[in-house]
Structure 1
Amino acid sequence: MELDEFVDGDLKTNPVFVCQTENREEEGFEVLRLLHNYLSSLYSLNETIRVLINQHTERSVEIHQRQFANSGEHSTLPYYSRRLTFLRGLRTDFQHGGFSCLAFNRKGSLGDFGGYHVVFDRDSFINDSGLRSPEGYLKYTNESNRRYPLCYVGSFQQETVQEFYNDIEDWFGTA
């Protein structure tokens, strides 16, 4: 919600980061900080769910090869896991590569204010992130999916996470 409020437009379809041109670097860092916080929270949510499933069932769920899936089922990942893979890559890049894969592209200005899209740079992600096998994080997306990571996050949160959370809540209610 905090990230959504920081941009102009719908986070899911066309978020534009607007700030005073002279403050773009400082305020841009704030957008990246909020994105990092979201991805870290998402990571913690998944780890918590994994631990609870492992504690309360006979099935084992592990994080393996950047996936969130049942042991032995890595070749047929659920939709949630496929979508999560790219976000895990972003989070890992943020932790270890210092946001190497994101840039701010100016989309316009009005007086002292500029509007920017946060754009994913695949080449920087592959070459500068320091990740082992960075291509694996891109496996389930295409250039269009990745181009605007804030849109990806908005869509993921509003649709994919909510459905996954509801399914987990239902499952725990009947387990």
Structure 2
Amino acid sequence: METMDKINSVVTEMNMVELTDGTKIPVPRLTNSKMLRLIKFVAGDGLIIYTKFTNWRSDHTSKTPALDENGVQRKNEDGELLFNFKYPSVEEAVEFFLAELPEEKIAELLAILLGKSTEETIEMDFFDTSLIIAEFLDRTPIEKLTMLVKKIMAKFRPMKQEDLQKAAQPTQPTVTPFTISPLA
């Protein structure tokens, strides 16, 4: 299946959500435009936050030996020792993201999902925004979306850090000597 077909396969049908004032609005659809904006966000600013998250998750994950009924550490088919991992909860991960993600980036993500400008998103009622996002997440196959974003994200990755630093270095002006042509 082509990439565009995969992206289109996660576009949700038009569903409605009722806001606090009784009006009904369509649940935002995951369009190709939104998908590409999300990928660019994740590949840029999101990559820094994702790196921080993976480091935090690693620091907050406990690793204990996987023991058999006799208390001996189990091994896999290749003879490697097996371990049990206890990862941070979803609530802890959300808390991490809210602490790490600047407000303007949260607003930018919401604006992408809601199909509005960042300014419009900031002015929306929090409860209504929560209702819309909850309905969006309920109707969107997040596993497929995550898989696609990871697959496509590499195409939008920014420059390597050392290349970025080189590009930011001021360039020395070059002087080209002026020579008069013998034909002049």
Please give the range of the TM-score, normalised by the shorter of the 2 chains.
Answer: under 0.3
- TM-score normalised by L of structure 1: 0.27
- TM-score normalised by L of structure 2: 0.27
Structure of higher CA gyration radius = 2
Q: Which structure features the higher share of helix residues?
A: 1
Q: Which structure features the higher share of strand residues?
A: 1
